[in-house]
Chains A and B, each alone.
Chain A
């Protein structure tokens, strides 16, 4: 009797013996043939992580990334057949992974890559007409609340996150500057577009995403910011779906 619990244990841990009762069809035990399944599981999950975290992979190097993936997939096998969501624990895994703690921005890079993927698969939404937003008087606008497209994502970070991401995903991108750089992701059509924010802009947008009034969201920012510019970037990114005045 070979039960699935025993099979699964041997699948993810090559030190476990091959389960009894498995045959090679030629009168012998399955032996090395069991490795086909071990290999399929490890390779397919590693490939899913390679696809999902291209910048993390570039930062670590291909060999190092695959080693990390081998540890991750055993610690966190997928919790669902929706492989588009696989890797959600990568930021926390990196935070707890001692050999890489000297590269402090890696968890935020993983968060950014997860957010880009989430934006790509997010529900479609009809953006608000830019003219309608422009027609709202300033005093009405200041107490309004905004509604956002599900594809809008904000990744807060004390690192120059956007520059690090761009430097490792676009040829000829400038070297990262030593400034905090949270990232705004909008999806005007089907492709998510990351863009840098200032800390103050991220604080304000985080408040807006929680449904706070515009004037209160502005007050939540700890530094100066150009609200008109932030709103026009959100409009261009088709990220605002409605406004409640």
Chain B
């Protein structure tokens, strides 16, 4: 397929949703209040069939955000150039409004571990991740957004705060950021820090997209709360409050609702998107 010029060259500062194939008919009939969609890149790297046909149809109507979950940008080894070539092919024919990936690693040698694994925030990690982001942006010929992780533990060897680490990456590479507010709340709860202080220290000018999602509640061996990033339920109230806190500081942004396991029927997702729309309307009214 030939590359085409982009139909939508940016995500609107409105609610979007993580696309699931079971919602195709609902979305084509009436997606309101959802105005854009996000896909996981790796699910659209087959050769053909229904996934690509649906994506082609959706991309005619909606701005699409391509969200990679398998590039292992924080991996100790070199980036998988075959996988990078697949991303280039997908972004080439689809011309998405945005491309994003994670501050994490998921590949070790030839193995893909199918999880977003944590990184120590050191000068060595910074140099490696910056080099990988440069390689991605050079290969794709576009700016990427990098997402903050949800943390269950910390590294003794870390010498950077996560917010400073992300800010330095934007300075070195010119990349933008995907601010996952659920991840901020999870990490702050798990590590005993303040989520508002994280937002205050975060480089909000670089934010191109915001993520929201549900989490599960567990506890660690000391009986302290341990939140798990499950994307399997409604967004928690303190996460909605943290969205308001963030939007008041950075203004309206594209806000995505993620729901990846135990996926509900469309009206449940649309209701979550309505809540995001209300938060965005409040900011617009206040400014």
| Contact status B69-A5, CB under 8 Å | no
Once the chains are docked, how many angstroms separate the CA of A214 from the CA of B50?
32
CB contacts (< 8 Å) of A213 on chain B: these are none
CB contacts (< 8 Å) of A37 on chain B: these are 115, 117-118, 152
CB contacts (< 8 Å) of B53 on chain A: these are 124, 190
A22 interfacial contact with B, CB 8 Å = yes
B153 interfacial contact with A, CB 8 Å = yes
| Contact status B152-A33, CB under 8 Å | yes
| Contact status A25-B112, CB under 8 Å | no
B47 interfacial contact with A, CB 8 Å = yes
| Contact status A44-B114, CB under 8 Å | yes
A79 interfacial contact with B, CB 8 Å = yes
A67 interfacial contact with B, CB 8 Å = no
B66 CB to nearest chain A CB (Å): 14
Q: A4-B105, A37-B117, A82-B42 are in contact. Are A77 and B111 (CB under 8 A)?
A: yes
| Contact status A121-B48, CB under 8 Å | yes
A83 interfacial contact with B, CB 8 Å = yes
- 1/0 per residue A1-26: CB within 8 Å of B? 11111011001100000000111111
B75 interfacial contact with A, CB 8 Å = yes
Once the chains are docked, how many angstroms separate the CA of A34 from the CA of B72?
19
CB contacts (< 8 Å) of A121 on chain B: these are 46-49, 51
A23 to B, closest residue via Cβ: B154
| Contact status A81-B154, CB under 8 Å | no
Once the chains are docked, how many angstroms separate the CA of A11 from the CA of B191?
21
B77 CB to nearest chain A CB (Å): 8
Q: Select which of A1, A8, A40 is within 8 A of B108 by beta carbon.
A: A8
User: Which residues 144-171 in B have Cβ within 8 Å of A in the complex?
Assistant: 152-157
B112 CB to nearest chain A CB (Å): 4
| Contact status A45-B114, CB under 8 Å | yes
- 1/0 per residue A117-138: CB within 8 Å of B? 0001111100000000000000
A220 interfacial contact with B, CB 8 Å = no
A48 interfacial contact with B, CB 8 Å = yes
Q: A21-B156, A78-B114 are in contact. Are A26 and B49 (CB under 8 A)?
A: no
Once the chains are docked, how many angstroms separate the CA of A174 from the CA of B1?
44
A211 interfacial contact with B, CB 8 Å = no
Once the chains are docked, how many angstroms separate the CA of A36 from the CA of B107?
18
With most chain B CB atoms within 10 A of its CB, the pick from A12, A23, A80, A122 is A80
| Contact status A22-B113, CB under 8 Å | no
A79 to B, closest residue via Cβ: B110
| Contact status B115-A44, CB under 8 Å | yes
A225 interfacial contact with B, CB 8 Å = no
B221 interfacial contact with A, CB 8 Å = yes
CB contacts (< 8 Å) of A190 on chain B: these are 49-50, 53
B99 CB to nearest chain A CB (Å): 15
Q: Select which of A23, A79, A84 is within 8 A of B43 by beta carbon.
A: A84
B113 to A, closest residue via Cβ: A41
B222 interfacial contact with A, CB 8 Å = yes
B46 to A, closest residue via Cβ: A121
Once the chains are docked, how many angstroms separate the CA of A187 from the CA of B226?
46
B193 interfacial contact with A, CB 8 Å = yes
| Contact status A28-B222, CB under 8 Å | yes
| Contact status B46-A84, CB under 8 Å | yes
CB contacts (< 8 Å) of B221 on chain A: these are 31-32
With most chain A CB atoms within 10 A of its CB, the pick from B48, B52, B222 is B48
B76 interfacial contact with A, CB 8 Å = yes
Once the chains are docked, how many angstroms separate the CA of A33 from the CA of B224?
11
CB contacts (< 8 Å) of B75 on chain A: these are 4
| Contact status B108-A122, CB under 8 Å | no
Once the chains are docked, how many angstroms separate the CA of A5 from the CA of B153?
18
A59 interfacial contact with B, CB 8 Å = no
Q: A2-B155, A4-B105, A23-B154 are in contact. Are A81 and B47 (CB under 8 A)?
A: no
A30 interfacial contact with B, CB 8 Å = yes
- 1/0 per residue A81-96: CB within 8 Å of B? 1111000000000000
A187 to B, closest residue via Cβ: B49
| Contact status B49-A120, CB under 8 Å | yes
In addition to A22-B154, A40-B115, 14 A-B residue pairs with Cβ atoms within 8 Å of each other are A11-B117, A21-B157, A23-B155, A23-B156, A24-B224, A33-B190, A33-B226, A41-B114, A81-B106, A82-B70, A120-B46, A151-B48, A190-B50, A190-B53
8 nearest A-B residue pairs (beta carbon): A81-B70, A25-B191, A121-B46, A190-B50, A123-B47, A30-B153, A124-B48, A123-B48
14 A-B pairs in the complex with CB atoms less than 8 angstroms apart:
A2-B155, A7-B117, A8-B108, A22-B154, A26-B192, A32-B221, A77-B111, A79-B112, A82-B45, A83-B114, A120-B49, A123-B47, A124-B48, A151-B48
